[in-house]
Chain A
Amino acid sequence: MNDLDQTDWLEYVGGNDAALERIHRRHRAALMKYCAYTTGSHSRAQDVVQETFLRLMNQRSRLTIKTSLADWLFICARNLCFSLSKREKTQESAVERLTEATTGLDAETVRFIEQVLSKLSVEERDLILLREQQGYSIREIALLLSVTEETVRVRLYRVRKKMQEIGRR
């Protein structure tokens, strides 16, 4: 855990609610970005990030973060995104929702989001965003998904190939 997170977390556990707001300000942008592109919706990303912090608040007195608070928050938010997508199963509306999440963009990016990214499944989008947006290494993704590194390499190749095929249509 980085020093700022550790200091703020200990302060929050000690009863200082303002410390939680500092943690929130530090991490919310990255979480919002991942959640918005994964769920395809700005408002849903907001709900997921809020729920993530509620879960952190519920863990106030008993959470022992061994590695990184950022990782804990990210994994929690990611799980919530998947729960949401399993409940909804509305792939059809993903295009509209992704566009809603990304207003004010240049034409090429809008085209990429609408015609390529939104055509991927949630799992495929998650994988490519973990690698390209969040910068996770192959090894880190393998640990996160509980699969082998070779499986991650093969899956990444397939997603990249699929994106190229969709892009050519």
Chain B
Amino acid sequence: MNTKDCEYFEQLLSSRLDEELPSEQQHELENHLAVCPSCRDFDIELTSQRGILQSLPDIVVPDGFRAAPNTLKWWRRRLSMPMPVAAAIALVAVGGWLLALRSPAKSNIEMSETSIMVHSVETVRVPAVQAIRVESEQDKSKNNEEEVL
């Protein structure tokens, strides 16, 4: 039995381990194993390897190991929000900041003009109404006196 032949049968043994060996090749393999101690050893070692690999112990999961640990950096925690939401918040924040930077003096003037306008409306309207009312009451009283007289 030459080496090339054994390599072929070793591949069959590997396939048999994976339960992938067609039945016709199963018979061929059994015939070979009956006469080849090297391939029988290979088969025994394959089974032994599998046993060790399948019995590799679990890895200890440390205490306090959580999906989102408290020690996580704040920016990683922020990333837990959906990206479109995060992008929208960032856009609004940057937009607001840029608007605030744009012309701070102009906005102050506008505010003061508004307050002046409010005051002027109040100062103009109230006395005017009162004056009209006073005049009209005076007129009425005058008219009444005239009527009495």
Give A108's nearest chain B residue, CB to CB.
Answer: B52
Complex interface: stretch among A53-61, A64-72, A78-86, A89-97: A53-61
With the chains together, A17 CA to B80 CA distance in Å?
11
A59 to chain B, nearest CB (A): 8
Give A137's nearest chain B residue, CB to CB.
Answer: B18
Give A167's nearest chain B residue, CB to CB.
Answer: B45
Which residues from chain A contact B101 at a C-beta distance below 8 Å? none
With the chains together, A105 CA to B69 CA distance in Å?
29
What's the A-B contact tally at a CB cutoff of 8 Å?
100
B93 to chain A, nearest CB (A): 20
Contact B57 A132 (CB under 8 A): no
Contact B46 A109 (CB under 8 A): no
Which residues from chain A contact B66 at a C-beta distance below 8 Å? 21, 24
Contact A29 B58 (CB under 8 A): yes
Which residues from chain A contact B69 at a C-beta distance below 8 Å? 50
Indicate which residue in B17, B50, B80 contacts A54 across the interface (CB closer than 8 Å). B80
Contact B49 A160 (CB under 8 A): yes
Indicate which residue in A21, A109, A128, A137 contacts B57 across the interface (CB closer than 8 Å). A109
Indicate which residue in A20, A153, A160 contacts B67 across the interface (CB closer than 8 Å). A20
Complex interface: stretch among B7-15, B25-33, B122-130, B135-143: B7-15
Q: Give a binary string over A150-169; 1 marks a CB under 8 Å from any B CB, 0 the rest.
A: 00011011001101100100
Which residues from chain A contact B109 at a C-beta distance below 8 Å? none
Q: Does B92 contact A (CB under 8 A)?
A: no
Give B81's nearest chain A residue, CB to CB.
Answer: A60
Give B46's nearest chain A residue, CB to CB.
Answer: A160
Q: Does A133 contact B (CB under 8 A)?
A: yes
Contact B52 A109 (CB under 8 A): yes
Which residues from chain B contact A50 at a C-beta distance below 8 Å? 67, 69
Give B50's nearest chain A residue, CB to CB.
Answer: A132
With the chains together, A113 CA to B57 CA distance in Å?
11
Contact B54 A132 (CB under 8 A): yes
Q: Does B76 contact A (CB under 8 A)?
A: yes
If A23-B67, A57-B67 touch, whether A164 touches B61 (CB-CB below 8 Å) is: no
Which residues from chain B contact A54 at a C-beta distance below 8 Å? 68, 76, 79-80
With the chains together, A108 CA to B52 CA distance in Å?
9
Give A28's nearest chain B residue, CB to CB.
Answer: B61
What would 11 more interface pairs be, CB under 8 Å, given A61-B85, A108-B52? A17-B68, A21-B67, A33-B59, A58-B83, A132-B54, A133-B54, A133-B56, A153-B15, A157-B15, A164-B42, A164-B45
Q: Nearest 6 pairs between A and B by C-beta?
A: A24-B67, A132-B53, A157-B14, A57-B80, A61-B82, A36-B59
Show the binding face of A for B, using Cβ within 8 Å: 17, 20-21, 23-24, 28-29, 32-33, 36-37, 42, 45-46, 49-50, 53-54, 56-58, 60-62, 101-102, 105, 108-109, 112-113, 128-129, 131-133, 137-138, 153-154, 156-157, 160-161, 163-164, 167
Question: Would you list 6 pairs from A and B whose C-beta atoms are within 8 A, ordered by A residue?
Answer: A21-B66, A33-B56, A33-B59, A132-B54, A138-B18, A160-B46
